[in-house]
Amino acid sequence: MEETEWFFSTSEEYFSGGPIDTKEAAISECICENDSEVNDIIYVGFKGEYLPKVFADSVIESAQEDAYEEVGEAAESWLSFVKEEELLDLSKVLNEVFYDWLSRHSHIPHFYPIKGVEAIAVTQELIDSSVSKYDEDRVKFDSDRELDSV
């Protein structure tokens, strides 16, 4: 099973907090790091996947425009009657080549969308549980660091 990475934000625009293993931990960390107060709204969501695409219809349109500029009216109807299955085939081939090119030249995107965004109204109960959980995690982290340095 693929692990989900959670992120948090106070603006719903930019999710700078994360990755975090669980939704609950993301909520706690957001509340503590931002000194959230009762009735503040925070946002959590999980990491999605972004796959860039090349659109066959855009490539065909560009080729048509280029042909018309180069040759004139003789090229006016060229590629105007491409069938849907031909368009799908071209999309598949173009995207395979594009992904291969991205990979060979180390241009694979290292960004991603945040999916399943949920707005959460901060309550006193959430603040109390987050602060105690956050403190427990800090104590564990500090003691683990001390053991590492021995």
Peptide bond into 19 cis (omega under 30): yes
Whether residue 98 is found in the same domain as residue 117: no
Q: Which value, in Å, is the radius of gyration of the alpha carbons in the chain?
A: 25
Cα–Cα distance for residue pair 78/75, rounded to 1 Å: 5
Structural domains counted in the chain: 2
pLDDT 10s digits, 78-113: 999 999 999 999 999 999 999 999 999 999 999 999
Q: Range of 84's domain?
A: 56-104
DSSP code of 73? G
Give residue 1's pLDDT.
41
Q: Indicate if 12 and 31 belong to the same structural domain.
A: yes
Q: Tens of pLDDT along 9-46? A: 999 889 989 999 999 999 999 999 999 999 999 999 99
80 within a domain of the structure (yes/no): yes
**Same-domain status, 76 and 37:** no
Q: What is the pTM of this model?
A: 0.68
Helix axes 56-71, 84-104, angle to 10 degrees: 100
Helices (H), 48-120: 56-71, 84-104
Strands (E) located in 93-138: 114-121
